[in-house]
Structure 1
Amino acid sequence: MQIFSTFEHTTYLELALTSLEKIGVEKSHILAVPLFNRVEERRLFDTLHRADGVSLFDKGAVLATAFSVIGASVGFVLEWGPIYWGLIGAASGFLIGFMIDYIIFKVIHKRKIKVKGKTSEVVVVIECPDALVEKVEQTLWDHLALGVAKVEG
């Protein structure tokens, strides 16, 4: 029987492997493979199928609304009128808000993301006889495995 398990790369993993050897699993029947977790650069614009929760539109929309109201109010006094100045205010407010978000997310935060929460860093594969399956599985859970699966074969 094969048992698959995932762990964070901590001392609990080392303790689990030592405990497995103590209950009778041979060292040659244990395979531990480290994983490389994905760190990718965020995209500026979301697509229909992929969104990361970061929006460059929010501050631009707020500033566009504020600037268009101010532009329309001042436009009653100016030559082109309130409609043109409201549109000019909306466009300039949106561009200012977009640039603020762009600078915050691109320059200040360096735009790297990492998966939040616990991540699987090591996969452990154990080949053991059927008599030890329950003991091995309980040992893995006791040493804080993130997931455990059994495959008969």
Structure 2
Amino acid sequence: MQIFSTFEHSSYLELAITSIEQLGITKESILAVPLNNRVEERRLFDSIHRADGISLFDKGAAIGTAFSVVGASVGFVLEWGPIYWGIIGAASGFILGFIIDFIIFKVVHKRQRTLNGKKSEVVLVVECKKELGDKVEQLLWENLALGVSKVE
């Protein structure tokens, strides 16, 4: 039976490995693999083939629509007319919304990433007999595993 679990890189991982060894499982049956952190920054623009759920278009479209309505309404009294002022309002609203989203993404999300820190996770694989499976799983949960799964 194999038991897979993930841990944050901390002393709890070492305690879990030591506790598993005290159950009689040899070091050769335990595999700990640290995962690499993401090195590159996230992309600002999505492509057709790849999207990460962050959109810089939404606020721009909403504010652009509002500004175009106001621009077209005011354009009836201004010199160039409602069509030109509606287009000018839409373009300026879209640019304003895009800049707001860009600032929020760059400043707020970067601050959250630095506050959270860049801790790596470790995947722990334990090969043991079926009788010890429940004990090993319980030990992993007691030592703050992020997730545990058994494969028979």
Q: What TM-score do the two structures reach when normalised by structure 2? A: 0.73
**Cross-structure match for 1:51:** 51
Whether 1:150 aligns to 2:148 is no
Q: Is the 8 A contact 1:39 1:112 kept in 2?
A: no
Whether 1:95 aligns to 2:95 is yes
Q: Secondary structure at the residue paired with 2:38?
A: coil
**Cross-structure match for 1:4:** 4
Map residues 2-151 of structure 1 onto 2, 5 A cutoff.
2-38=2-38, 40-106=40-106, 108-109=107-108, 121-145=121-145, 146-151=147-152
Give the Å deviation of 1:28. Answer: 3.9
Q: After superposition, what is the alpha-carbon deviation per residue over 1:40-63, rounded to whole angstroms, capped at 9, x for unaligned? A: 422222245543332212221232
Q: Is the 8 A contact 2:67 2:89 kept in 1?
A: yes
Q: Secondary structure at the residue paired with 1:92?
A: helix
Q: Is the 8 A contact 2:30 2:126 kept in 1?
A: yes
AA paired with 1:88? I
Structure having the larger proportion of residues in helix: 2
* C-alpha distance in 1 between matches for 2:68 and 2:121: 51
AA paired with 1:105? F
Ranges in structure 2 where 5+ consecutive residues have no aligned partner? none
Q: Secondary structure at the residue paired with 1:73?
A: helix
Give the Å deviation of 1:27. Answer: 3.0
Q: Is the 8 A contact 2:30 2:124 kept in 1?
A: yes
Give the Å deviation of 1:120. Answer: 7.5
* C-alpha distance in 2 between matches for 1:66 and 1:134: 60
Ranges in structure 1 where 5+ consecutive residues have no aligned partner? none
Structure 1 stretches (4+) deviating beyond 4 angstroms?
A: 109-114
* C-alpha distance in 1 between matches for 2:104 and 2:43: 14
Alignment length (residue pairs)? 147
AA paired with 1:81? G
AA paired with 2:151? K
* C-alpha distance in 2 between matches for 1:122 and 1:76: 64
